[in-house]
A and B are shown apart, each in its own frame.
Chain A
Amino acid sequence: MESNQAPQGLMGSNDNIQRTQDPYVTGTSVVALKYKDGILMAADMGGSYGSTLRYKTVERLKPVGKHSLLGASGEISDFQEILHYLDELILYDNMWDDGNSLGPKEVHSYLTRVMYSRRNKFDPLWNSLVLGGVKNGQKYLGMVSMIGVNFEDNHVATGFGNHLARPILRDEWHENLSFEDGVKLLEKCMRVLLYRDRSAVNKLQIAKITDEGVTISQPYSLKTFWGFSAFENPTVGAEGSW
């Protein structure tokens, strides 16, 4: 961002200016849903470097202020930059010392403006963000993409989650899910992603946010089942193959 100096036309070819990137270290899906007391959000702890699962303890769920929780997929360094912006935002909010605090809707709006503004400069933050929170009993769950597309809904997911988790959530989500049911539903989604998304790792965190505050679980892994007879005896019926 600091190296964006002279304003360029749409197709400027000044080599010093950093624009349009390829993502390097990336996180995969984030899945979130509204439940009775607030929001539940889940993400694994993988940071992939292309096709290598390079980092396995990346925290992709972070609290923001008193009322919000941010989950990010995409470029991890851009996520860290966003956290830096948010730190400043929350700091200034606290410095007013007026009893008011930024709610999830406001933080989501801020993030949308940041992402859109970077897209306008052709230098996007390569993330899909999930912002969830509760303020004064009002639950809020929204998503922003790297080009600024944003919406709120009862359940959201980024990346592969959109294809694999959303259909499950559309089928099984309902109002006033209990905490246990919410976690079970999220784990079901994360398990499918674990089986089918090659950038997924079996080490995840689930975060919950309610009016009382944010709790992010310790990392844990899901039970998986590989005991299918076809796996156990793969060459039955085709001797010599593998």
Chain B
Amino acid sequence: MTKQNANWSPYDNNGGTCVAIAGADYCVIAADTRMSTGYSILTRDYSKICKLADKCVMASSGFQADVKALQKQLAARHLIYQHQHNKQVSCPAMAQLLSNTLYYKRFFPYYSFNVLGGLDNEGKGCVYTYDAVGSYERVGYSSQGSGSTLVMPFLDNQLKSPSPLLLPAQDAVTPLSESEAVDLVKTCFASATERDIYTGDKLEIVVLNQEGLHREYMELRKD
């Protein structure tokens, strides 16, 4: 029997865009709720945001089955952490765990593009951004997914992070207030929805601060 070439791919791109912005004492994590395949929309009401811990929320886009599997993995690991340490995992620790989990499948990757958002050990907002195999970095803001090429330059323009080459290292978190950051996120998605076919339907915004977790929604164009 001659070697056949695969007539199916184990991957699919289910689209969507994720954004996270870190503030002085809050973090905003947002993603659209559209799930697509090819040129079809599978559902308009699918959440890409997963709460991993009290102070740690992840938004992921890409291949939904891998995203789901990744979320399950991390949630399970968090449960073990809680049993062993008798406390919730901190955001920086979860960030490292996510990176290791992704790299573990370096040779059959999770097709998942993630942004992790939360509060660090000092209560300041933190955002970590990843590629599919676990390369990560703490930043003041980030976007991933099909609309990231549209959103990222806009965020660069608005949030003007100081250069990482400066010493001493300057805070990358934005001086914007919580409501200003939320408005900024809404603007990002309204714009991305216009030009990215995989982004739209509804926007889910999660805000993490000292009081806890607050969730809101905004309608987006459905075409």
Residues of A that sit less than 8 Å from B by CB = 10, 13, 15, 20, 22, 112, 116, 119-120, 122, 124, 143, 145-153, 162-163, 166
Contacts and interface: CB of A to CB of B under 8 A. Distances in A.
Contacts of B8: 20, 124, 146-147
Given A116-B69, A162-B42, A149 B12 contact: yes
A20 B108 contact: no
A149 B65 contact: yes
Contacts of A10: 107-108
Contact of B10 (A13, A122, A166): A122
Nearest to A142: B43
Contact of A163 (B40, B43, B107): B40
Interface in B33-79: 35, 37, 40-43, 45-46, 63-65, 68-69
Nearest to B105: A120
Given A116-B69, A119-B65, A151 B35 contact: yes
B146 interface: no
Contacts of A148: 65, 68-69
* Residue of B7, B8, B35, B46 with most chain A CB atoms under a 10 A cut-off: B8
Contacts, number: 59
A120 B35 CA distance: 21
Contact of B12 (A13, A147, A166): A147
A135 to B, nearest CB: 21
A166 B35 CA distance: 14
Nearest to B67: A149
Contacts of B45: 153
A152 B68 CA distance: 13
Interface of B: 1, 3-4, 6-12, 14, 35, 37, 40-43, 45-46, 63-65, 68-69, 107-108
A15 B1 CA distance: 7
A151 B42 contact: yes
Contacts of B63: 149
* Residue of B37, B42, B63 with most chain A CB atoms under a 10 A cut-off: B42
29 contacts: A10-B107, A15-B1, A20-B6, A20-B8, A22-B7, A112-B65, A112-B68, A116-B69, A119-B10, A122-B6, A122-B10, A143-B42, A145-B12, A145-B37, A147-B8, A147-B9, A147-B10, A147-B11, A148-B68, A149-B12, A149-B42, A149-B63, A149-B64, A151-B46, A151-B64, A153-B43, A153-B45, A162-B40, A162-B42
Contacts of B46: 151
B37 A149 contact: yes
Contacts of B68: 112, 116, 148, 150
Given A116-B65, A149-B65, A150-B68, A20 B42 contact: no
A150 B10 contact: no
B8 to A, nearest CB: 7
A147 B65 contact: yes
Nearest to B46: A151
A20 B150 CA distance: 37
